[in-house]
Amino acid sequence: MDHIAVIGAGQAGASVVETLRKEGYDGRLTLWGEEPELPYQRPPLSKAYLLGEMARERLHLRPAAFYEENRVELHLGTRIDAIDPDARTLTHAGGTEGWDALVLATGSAPRRLPGAVGGDLDGVFAVRTLADIDALAPHIREDGHLLVVGGGYIGLEAAAVARNRGMRVTLLEAAPRLLSRVSCRDTATWFADKHRAMGVDIREAATLERLTGDGHVTGATLSDGTKLSVDAVVAGIGIVPSTTLAEAAGLTLADGIAVDAQGRTSADGIWAAGDCCSFPHRGGRVRLESVPHAIHQAETVARNLLGAAEDYVAKPWFWSDQYDVKLQIAGLNTGFDRVIVRDGSDIEGGRSHWYFAGDRLLAVDAMNDPRAYMVGKRLIEAGRSPDPDAVADRAVPIKSLM
C-alpha cells in the first residue's frame, strides 16, 4: 500500500498512525482532522484543563516533532467533504486525494440543545472539544450561576468543576435519577448524595422548557414553570457517533459505522476505529466511548491493515473524576440482575458496586477504591466470577476474591 489515509485526528486516529509506523509501515501516511489542533486527549478537558490545572501543551498526545520524525502528514483544520469507496478518493476544499486504504476515526459529536429552546444563545456550551472548553472557561466564575442540563458523567463533571470554582450550580435530569443509562441506582444515589453535599441543586425528573436572553442566555424556564436566572448553560445530554461521511458513501451503519471483528467496514479498503463504530461483542454489537477502547481498537486495526488478521477483544474500562472522587469502572453492566455493595477501602468513604447476572460478574463501579477496581478488572478479563456473598463480606480480603 502506497498511501494509508486516516480521517479523524483524535485518540483513535493518532493511535492508528503511531501503530502503523511502529509496526513497520513505510508508505505515505496522512492524518486529517477538522480541528486546528495537534491530536490531544479529551478526558482532562472537563476536569484539570477547565480548572486551569493543566497547560494546553500537556493535552497533546505527541509533540509536532513526533509526526515530522515519523513522516505523518498532518492536515489539521481540514474538513473532509466526501469519500468515494469505488474510486478510493477523499475530497476536501483543496481538492481530491487518492488512497489505498482508509481508516475512519471520526469519533463522536455532542448532542446540542435545539435552537427552538434557546440552544443557539451565547453562553450555551457543549463539553467536547478544546474550543468548547476555551469558550466555556471564562464563564466558570465564583459569582455566577451555571445550569447543567443532563445528569450523565459529563454533566456531573462540569457541575463538580463549577462548584470547585465557587459557582452556584443547578443540574436538571429528565429521568427519575442520575446516570440512568449507565449505572445502577446505588451508584447514582452515591453520586447524587455527593453532589448535593457539595451544594449542587439537583432536580431529577425535571426538563428544560426554554432558555431566554437577548443574545446571551440570562434565564431558564423549566417544564414545571420554575424560572431561573443563569449566567451560563452546559448541555451534557450525550454524544452521537460521527457517521456523516460513512453514510453518504453508502457504508453499513448500526449504532455507528458497522465493522467486523477485525475493524473492516462494509466497503473494501475502508476500516474504522473508536467512538464512531460498533463491533461484534458477546453475540451482539456494541459501541464504546472510552479512551482505552479507542487506543486498543485503533492498534488492532493498524496491525490488521498490515496483515495481522487479529480479532479485536474489548476490555472495557472507564473513569470519571468529580471533586475528591475517582470513579473507575471495569466491564459492561448490560444485563445485570443484581448489584452487590462492598464498603470500605484505604481511602475514606471508598465503596464498590459489583454487577452480576446470576452468579456471573459483569462489571464493577469503584469509588475511591482502586484495589476493588483492579481485582474486578482482572476477574472480568479472565472470565472468572467471585462468590457474591464473599464480595459483600468486608471481612473477606479483597485480594482473596481472585
Alpha carbon 66 to chain centroid, angstroms: 25
Distance, first Cα to last Cα, the chain:
46
Cell digits of residue 185? 441506582
Whole-angstrom distance, CA of residue 16 vs CA of residue 279: 17
Phi-psi map region of 25: left, alpha, beta (phi>0 left; psi -120 to 50 alpha)? beta
- Residues 120-147: b if buried by 16+ CB within 10 A, e if exposed: ebebbbbbbbbebbeebbebbeeebbbb
> Closest Cα to residue 236, out of 178, 295, 190, 165?
178
Predicted local distance difference test score (pLDDT) of residue 346 = 57
> Closest Cα to residue 25, out of 3, 48, 57, 55?
3
| pTM across the whole model | 0.94
Amino acid 59 reads L
Sequence length of the chain is 402
Predicted local distance difference test score (pLDDT) of residue 401 = 87
Question: In degrees rounded to 5, what are phi and psi of residue 329?
Answer: -120, 130
> Closest Cα to residue 145, out of 127, 163, 128?
163
Predicted local distance difference test score (pLDDT) of residue 345 = 62
Cell digits of residue 133? 472548553
Strand, coil or helix: what is 297?
helix
Q: Is 217 exposed, middle or buried (0-12, 13-18, 19+ CB in 10 A)?
A: buried
Predicted local distance difference test score (pLDDT) of residue 348 = 67
Whole-angstrom distance, CA of residue 192 vs CA of residue 198: 10
Give the residues across from 284 on adjacent strands. 281
Cell digits of residue 75? 492536515
Whole-angstrom distance, CA of residue 356 vs CA of residue 384: 12
Predicted local distance difference test score (pLDDT) of residue 389 = 93
Q: What is the pLDDT along the chain (402 residues), one digit of tens a residue?
A: 899 999 999 999 999 999 999 999 999 999 999 999 999 999 999 888 998 899 999 999 999 999 999 999 999 999 999 999 999 999 999 999 999 999 999 999 999 999 999 999 999 999 999 999 999 999 999 999 999 999 999 999 999 999 999 999 999 999 999 999 999 999 999 999 999 999 999 999 999 999 999 999 999 999 999 999 999 999 999 999 999 999 999 999 999 999 999 999 999 999 999 999 999 998 899 999 999 999 999 999 999 999 999 999 998 999 999 999 999 999 999 999 999 999 876 566 789 999 999 999 999 999 999 999 999 999 999 999 999 999 999 889 898 988
Q: Is 302 exposed, middle or buried (0-12, 13-18, 19+ CB in 10 A)?
A: buried
Contacts of 197 (CB under 8 A, 6+ apart): none
Alpha carbon 35 to chain centroid, angstroms: 17
Phi-psi map region of 67: left, alpha, beta (phi>0 left; psi -120 to 50 alpha)? alpha
Report all structural domains of the chain as residue ranges with CATH numbers, in order of start: 3-109+240-305 (3.50.50.60), 112-235 (3.50.50.60), 324-401 (3.30.390.30)
> Closest Cα to residue 123, out of 18, 233, 222?
233
DSSP 8-state assignment for residue 44: G
Predicted local distance difference test score (pLDDT) of residue 344 = 73
Whole-angstrom distance, CA of residue 118 vs CA of residue 220: 9
